[in-house]
Structure 1
Amino acid sequence: MLSKPQEKGSAVARKRKSADELWRIVADGVLADMQIDRCKLPGIINQRKSMTIKTSIIAAVLLMAGCATLSKDECLNADWQIIGFEDASNGYAMDRIGQHRKACASVKVVPDMAAYEAGHRKGARQYCTRERGYSEGVDGKAYNGICPLDLVDTFMQAYRDGQERYQFEKHLDDLAATMVSIKHRIEEIDADIAYHEGEIISEQSGSESRAEHLNIIRELRYELSDLQMELVNLEEQHYRLDGDYLHLLNQHRRQGYQ
């Protein structure tokens, strides 16, 4: 019978194991959606110098979850045909079994390649549909070349159509973000000009100080004029692109895409 300290320690260990497993499940869900190999995540993070808070949190979750694609329990109880099926259903290529092999090495479990391949072939047929091709393209996901010959043409046509929509949406989002940034800068310039104008009429300002403030205002107004022209240009681009995007959506609806 365990003593109270031992019982407490065992309970803490169980909670920690449950928490670790929860982190891994969350990470796997994010990875499946983003189609990013967890083992490659540190390199991806290093390449991105600026990260949003949301992205940083996701990255932290993934790193805390570790690099293994399967837990020890999953390795010990693995049905390699099901694993192959699930991998293909999520768009992963056959080489993902190499990551499973590394994950299971610590418990001396070797993947059953034949069973994995059989499951992967079945999963690929479920994945390689017209509907899935379009949705993968719209989401900006990578295609890993897993579709069989009799399905690849239909899948790829839908995938390219989805990619076209993705590019439109990305361009619209980029334009919108740039316009927001310019508007913020215009607001800052307006505030700066108001400040320097106030300094010019201040009784405490001397002639040299007023001249300096006038020069600053002149430079700010040059920048303001350039930004206002750029903003008008971007708004026109966004308007035209949005019209083309709506036309594309109508075309895709006529083609049966959702």
Structure 2
Amino acid sequence: MKYFLYFSLVMLLASCATMNKEECEVADWRAVGYQHGAKGQSATAFENYQKDCSKHQIKADFSAFKQGHQQGIDEYCIYERGMELGRAGANYNNQCPSSRYERFEDGYFAGLIRYCTYDKGYELGARGAAVNANCPHEDFRDFSAGYADGYVRFEMAQEIRELEESLHGIDHQMQLELDLIADSEALIVSDKSSASQRTQALEDIKLHRAALTDLERQHRKVEKQLARLQAQFNDN
């Protein structure tokens, strides 16, 4: 039970960068450093621990923390971990310098080869996501080509949405014009309308019908553009 509580405390400390007085009193600094290193994290968290513990007049042991951290880093920076990061397209973990962890670097670039494909580039481009800088153009031309093709599809999808919104707006304006025409026609046949009101209503109807004709022309034009673009989009 005591071991379980101790282990839980070590895991808790490694998951955050702050400590209270009790945690500072019982901290195994080597174990805390190890947990950070085993996760590929830097040793900078120690600075926060040091500040927290100094508030309670408790000295944090950097030497023990550093030793544990290095042990954790040694266990983290292996070929398989590098492969895992590379296959995810993640950034290279600078806690694993290639001068010391050559196998980690080998794994990372082996993973990148599996990630930086045409299909992955196309997927990112089609979503409008930023290009992954971990797949440099000169080394992964298929990825770059896929991204460019996918981004063209993304732009087409955006243009389709804009045209659809434009059609919706035109439809709305057309309905407004029809409503205004109906109001003017009602005014003309109303017994309560004066001659001048009827005359003005006739003029208004002409204007609204002209506007409606123009809107119908715009609607047909946008419909053609939309149909053409949708056909291109579906062919890709």
TM-score range for the pair, normalised by the shorter chain length: 0.5 to 0.7
Give the secondary structure class of the aligned counterpart of 1:204: coil
Deviations 1:189-222 (A, max 9, x none): 1122111110121111112222332232222212
Equivalent position to 1:161, from 128, 149, 164: 149
State the Cα RMSD in Å. Answer: 3.5
Kindly provide the CA deviation profile for residues 53-101 of structure 1, in whole angstroms up to 9, marking residues without a partner as x: xxxxxxxxxxxxxxxxxxx94567652368999887776767xxxxxxx
Give unmatched runs, 5+ long, in structure 2. 1-13, 19-34, 42-75, 99-103
Say how many residue pairs are matched: 160
The one of 169, 178, 185 equivalent to 2:173 is 185
* Structure 2 counterpart of 1:147: 135
**Residues in 2 aligned to 1:185 and 1:179: alpha-carbon distance in whole angstroms:** 10
Change (3 A) 1:88 1:203: farther
Query: Does the aligned pair in 2 maintain the 1:138–1:162 contact within 8 Å?
Result: yes
Structure 1 contact 125–148 (Cα < 8 Å) conserved: no
Larger radius of gyration: 2
TM-score if structure 1 supplies the norm length?
Answer: 0.51
Tell me how far apart the structure 2 counterparts of residues 169 and 85 of structure 1 sit (CA, whole Å): 34
State the partner residue of 1:62.
none
The equivalences for 1:56-135 within 5 A come to 73=15, 79-80=39-40, 113-115=94-96, 121=108, 124-125=112-113, 127-135=115-123
Residues 93, 144 of structure 1: 8 Å contact kept: no
Distance 1:85 1:116 in 2: 15
Supply the AA of the counterpart residue of 1:188: L
Letter in 2 for 1:241: L
1:238 aligns with 2:198: no
- Aligned partners of 1:124 and 1:148 also within 8 Å: no
| Superposition map of 1:11-90 within 5 A | 73=15, 79-80=39-40
Preserved contact between residue 85 and residue 116 of structure 1 (Cα < 8 Å): no
Q: TM-score, normalised by structure 2?
A: 0.55
For 2:95 and 2:222, how far apart are their aligned partners in 1?
Answer: 55
Q: Aligned to 1:176, what secondary structure does the other structure show?
A: helix
1:138–1:165 contact (8 Å) kept in structure 2:
yes
Q: Secondary structure at the match of 2:140?
A: helix
Q: Determine helix, strand or coil for the equivalent of 1:80.
A: coil
Higher share in helix: 1
In the other structure, the counterpart of 1:197 is 185
Report the CA distance shift for 1:202/1:158 in structure 2 as closer, same or farther (over 3 A): same
Query: Structure 1 vs Structure 2: percent identity of aligned residues?
Result: 26
Distance in 2 between residues matched to 1:116 and 1:213, nearest whole Å: 82
Question: Offset at 1:239?
Answer: 1.8
